[in-house]
Amino acid sequence: MKHAILSCTGLDKPEGSVAREVAICAADTTGSEIICPVLLNRAPARYKKALSDSSLIVVDGCSTRCATKLATRLEAKVHRKVLVSDAVKAADQALESTLSLGPKGLALAQSIVDELVRNLNAPTATAEPVADFETPTEYLVVMHDKFEFRIPVVDYVFNENDVWARVLDGVARVGISDYMQQKLTDISYFDPPRVGGVVEQFGELGSLESAKAVFEIISPISGTVTAVNPAVIDNPGLINEDPSGAGWLVEMKLTAWPQDQELLLDPAAYAEIVKRKAAEE
């Protein structure tokens, strides 16, 4: 499939200059069309064909994520994402402070493009799920104003960060709560953790994005990621539709169970947290 690249224009920050360079270089390397965010914002019809015929790569310079927010507003499905400020941190080398690109900025842009192209050629690793969890049927319901938050009761445990886990035969399935999916509203992108990656309890299990926020998925348990839900990679909206069931995110092989339970909440205790959080809003 063809790609189209929507990038930060990058006029007032060094990270923006790198984002712009990444877009140009990635377009040259992959033969993709570049989408100008300013023109897209002003005249979306100009890029209607590019957005419908291509899979979209979004390049943001900083965490303001202007390009992502624009894509979300136009309901464009994002295929891959790059955030330059994260790449700067990961490389642990500050950029030049000038707006025009220096050798460090150029080198970073090239390394981002190299990784992007490598990833484009390799499908997201989504090993098959191994556990067979029953669909929840019983829920606690927390009411707040016109909102109704459903908390499954069977064998779910939660952390205060609105992430659930359920355990079966040494494997845990992990997802986000109904409360969190309603807070995020329409989830447009799931950046999954690496299959095979080792995560400590309260470590990061990738992130979710909506027009409202980036949500860091905080792992309720320690373990090794064994599967990423392929259905959610294809359609992140499934998380909104069924956060406790079909919208699960990852499976993990447990490494510190049952000790991890010490810092987790049962459904009734999590319901109290949801009540408190909803009341604070």
Partner 1 sequence: MGVPRGQIPWFPTIDYDKCNFCMDCDTFCPHHVFERREGERKLAVANPTNCVVFCRACAKACGPDAISFPSKPETIALIKRIREQEAVK
Q: Binding of partner 1 at residue 92 (CB under 8 A)?
A: no
Binding window for partner 1 (CB under 8 A); candidates: 95-103, 125-133, 158-166, 231-239: 158-166
**Residue 281 interacts with partner 1 (CB under 8 A)?**
yes
Amino acid at position 268, single letter: A
Query: Applying CB under 8 A, which of residues 136, 203, 237, 245 lies at the interface with partner 1?
Result: 203
Residue 149 found at the interface with partner 1 (CB under 8 A): no
Q: How far is the CB of 273 from partner 1 (least distance, A)?
A: 9
The only residue of 214, 237, 253, 261 in contact with partner 1, by rule CB under 8 A? 214
Nearer to partner 1, 83 or 116 (CB): 83
One of 38, 39, 43, 263 touching partner 1 (CB under 8 A): 263
Residues in region 166-195 near partner 1 by CB under 8 A: 183
Which residue, 69 or 173, has its beta carbon nearer to partner 1?
Answer: 69
Determine whether 279 is exposed, middle or buried from the number of CB atoms within 10 Å of its CB (0-12, 13-18, 19+): exposed
Window of 113-121, 150-158, 213-221, 248-256 that interacts with partner 1 by CB under 8 A: 213-221
Single out the residue of 218, 232, 250, 274 in contact with partner 1 (rule: CB under 8 A): 218
Contact 154/168 with Cβ under 8 angstroms?
Answer: no
Taking CA atoms, 56 is separated from 7, 152, 215, in Å, by: 10, 35, 21
Site for partner 1 in 50-89 (CB under 8 A): 62-64, 85
In sequence order, what DSSP letters do the residues of 216-250 get, joined into one string? EEE-SS-EEEEEE-HHHHH-THHHHH-TTTTT--E
Q: Are strands 171-176 and 163-168 parallel, antiparallel or unpaired?
A: antiparallel
Rounded to a whole number of angstroms, the minimum distance from the CB of residue 66 to partner 1 is 9
Tokens linked to 7: 């990038």
**Given CA atoms 265, 266, 268, 270 in this order, what sign does their dihedral have?**
positive
Here the tokens at position 55 are 């899979």
Kindly tell me which residue out of 160, 186, 242, 266 binds partner 1, with binding defined by CB under 8 A.
160
Separation CA 267–CA 198 (nearest Å): 26
Nearest to residue 162, comparing CAs of 253, 260, 270, 1?
A: 270
Nearer to partner 1, 9 or 161 (CB): 161
Give the residues lining the site for partner 1 (CB under 8 A). Answer: 62-64, 85, 159-161, 183, 200-203, 207, 212-216, 218, 262-263, 277, 280-281
